Amino acid sequence: MRITVMGTGYVGLVVGACLAETGNDVVCVDTDEGKIAGLQNGKIPIFEPGLEPMVQRNEDFGRLRFSTDLDAMVAAAEVVVIAVGTPSGEDGSADLQYVLSAAETIGRNMTSEKVVLIKSTVPVGTAAKVRETIERQTDQLFTVCSNPEFLKEGAAVGDFMKPDRVIVGLDSPLGRPVVERLYAPFLRTSNRMIFMDNVSAELTKYAANAMLATRISFMNEIANLCETLGADVDQVRRGLGSDSRIGSAFLFPGPGYGGSCFPKDMRALIRTGDEHGSKLNLVKAVDKVNTRQRRRMYKKLKKAFDGQVEGKQVAVWGLAFKAETDDIRESAAIDLVDTLLEKGASVAVFDPQAMEPARNRFGDRVRYATDPYDALTGADALAVATEWLLFRNPDFDRIRASMSGDVLVDGRNLYDPDQMRGLGFRYQGIGR
């Protein structure tokens, strides 16, 4: 199939590469000329495990190309995938300007029958808006399909190649065989393709993210209660997760959820509820708990410094919002660094993949360490904010020797509290 993917970010690039991998003829287009020029020269703009060789391989075979010629590439496609960003607008609703601009381009170039897949996360009613936008410019038959993406950054290629399920909303039966053919290679061992109307598909994506965010906020609240009661949240988590009705995923407490999806999608869902007179009280509470949790690591540091943060040196390990990605959008680690700087601390940072985005974010306001231990030189405290494998079994004697202080705030519960105290750290985890 001839496929054009609009938007070459975390979603568009992965989707484009995976669709090329199954033999399709894919062009990824973007309005960002620098990004496309880089991709044409073999520079992958993001870190995503397994993506680079897949892009390379498919480019070499001529199945994957990159272009800024949106009009020509959309005109030539049978399937157009919208994978552009939907950031939060000022009022918390999803900003649809990029999606609707993509729809304009599609309408202008609807020279033959096409299926339009919306992979961007968009509020209920957007597929209908996309249809209206296209219809204003053409009499061609076409299908708009709300096909939300569930990939996780850090495991995106595997998630797309072996999906738990594929949600497909359709506003016309014409597109169904095309979508079935498109996904057949990824669903050979299951038939978990769930067809529904577009409104339900749009809501399914928000409901899924809200459910996962709820589990995280729930565990963060339980963790905070554990601290008050003297319980160990890690033991509670294991006990809880072993119930087959509950399951063990998404039960790790931490510094609060972040990233490019959960925070903005929660805000957009709350906004949708408010706009339609159906208040989402639970979702609002989840968001509120998270906002508070994102201060937690800072508060622990402040307490360890007896309230005197100004003039302290803090090493922060991890800036990405989670391990295995370079994405720092709405990362709790970034909030922590911002607050420390605001309160007059000096900060040294290390992240195995996110140093470049961090440089763009902080400029010369922090020191960029060359490795985890370099960040510790002269530090009063170490704060571990991202659960990178690299941080899980470090040389603790070297850590102690490099630091001038003894404060260790473990925002991801990577270390054993007794062992840490035995080594002379003033250790604080989350909920232990």
Window of 25-33, 139-147, 210-218, 378-386 that interacts with ligand NAD by CB under 6 A: 25-33
Structural element, H or E, at residue 132: helix 126-135
* 262 lines the binding site for ligand NAD (CB under 6 A): no
* 123 lines the binding site for ligand NAD (CB under 6 A): no
* 126 lines the binding site for ligand NAD (CB under 6 A): no
Window of 2-10, 186-194, 301-309, 384-392 that interacts with ligand NAD by CB under 6 A: 2-10
**Contact predicate 176/195, CB 8 Å:** yes
Question: In the complex with ligand NAD, which residue's Cβ is closer, 9 or 429?
Answer: 9
Backbone angles phi, psi at 329, to 5 degrees: -60, 125
Strands (E), 35-133: 64-67, 79-82, 114-118
Q: In what order do the strands lie in the sheet with 346-350?
A: 367-368, 346-350, 313-317, 381-384, 407-410, 426-428
Residues 372 and 204: their CA atoms lie apart, in Å, by 40
* 149 lines the binding site for ligand NAD (CB under 6 A): yes
* 6 lines the binding site for ligand NAD (CB under 6 A): yes
- Amino acid identity for residue 83 in this structure: A
* 170 lines the binding site for ligand NAD (CB under 6 A): no
* 31 lines the binding site for ligand NAD (CB under 6 A): yes
Question: In the complex with ligand NAD, which residue's Cβ is closer, 32 or 232?
Answer: 32
Active-site residue, from 18, 145, 226, 261? 261
CA dihedral 332, 204, 107, 261 (to 10 degrees): 0
Q: Taking the complex as a whole, how short is the minimal distance between the CB of residue 248 and ligand NAD, in angstroms?
A: 22
Determine which residue in the list 120, 290, 339, 413 makes contact with ligand NAD, applying CB under 6 A.
120
**Contact predicate 380/407, CB 8 Å:** yes
Footprint (CB under 6 A) of ligand NAD, residues 65-104: 70, 83-86, 98, 101-102
Residues 49 and 272: their CA atoms lie apart, in Å, by 34
Q: Taking the complex as a whole, how short is the minimal distance between the CB of residue 100 and ligand NAD, in angstroms?
A: 9
* 10 lines the binding site for ligand NAD (CB under 6 A): yes
Minimal CB distance to ligand NAD: which residue?
A: 9
Strands (E), 212-334: 313-317
* 321 lines the binding site for ligand NAD (CB under 6 A): no
Residue 185 DSSP symbol: G
* 153 lines the binding site for ligand NAD (CB under 6 A): yes
* 272 lines the binding site for ligand NAD (CB under 6 A): no
146 sits in the region (left: phi over 0; alpha: psi -120 to 50; else beta) called beta
Q: Taking the complex as a whole, how short is the minimal distance between the CB of residue 149 and ligand NAD, in angstroms?
A: 4
Q: Taking the complex as a whole, how short is the minimal distance between the CB of residue 264 and ligand NAD, in angstroms?
A: 7
Determine which residue in the list 4, 12, 268, 317 makes contact with ligand NAD, applying CB under 6 A.
12
Residues 154 and 331: their CA atoms lie apart, in Å, by 14
28 catalytically annotated: no
Question: In the complex with ligand NAD, which residue's Cβ is closer, 156 or 409?
Answer: 156
Strand partners, 412: none
Residues 430 and 57: their CA atoms lie apart, in Å, by 43
* 333 lines the binding site for ligand NAD (CB under 6 A): no
* 330 lines the binding site for ligand NAD (CB under 6 A): no
The token pair at 407 is 């404060």
**Contact predicate 78/115, CB 8 Å:** yes
Which pairs from 299-303 meet CB under 8 Å and 24+ separation?
Answer: 300/409, 300/428, 301/340, 301/381, 301/383, 301/407, 301/409, 302/343
Q: Taking the complex as a whole, how short is the minimal distance between the CB of residue 386 and ligand NAD, in angstroms?
A: 16
Determine which residue in the list 3, 4, 11, 319 makes contact with ligand NAD, applying CB under 6 A.
11
Determine which residue in the list 16, 35, 54, 130 makes contact with ligand NAD, applying CB under 6 A.
35
**Contact predicate 404/379, CB 8 Å:** yes
Residues with a catalytic annotation lie at 261
Residue ranges binding ligand NAD (CB under 6 A)? 6-12, 29-32, 35, 70, 83-86, 98, 101-102, 119-121, 149, 151, 153, 260-261
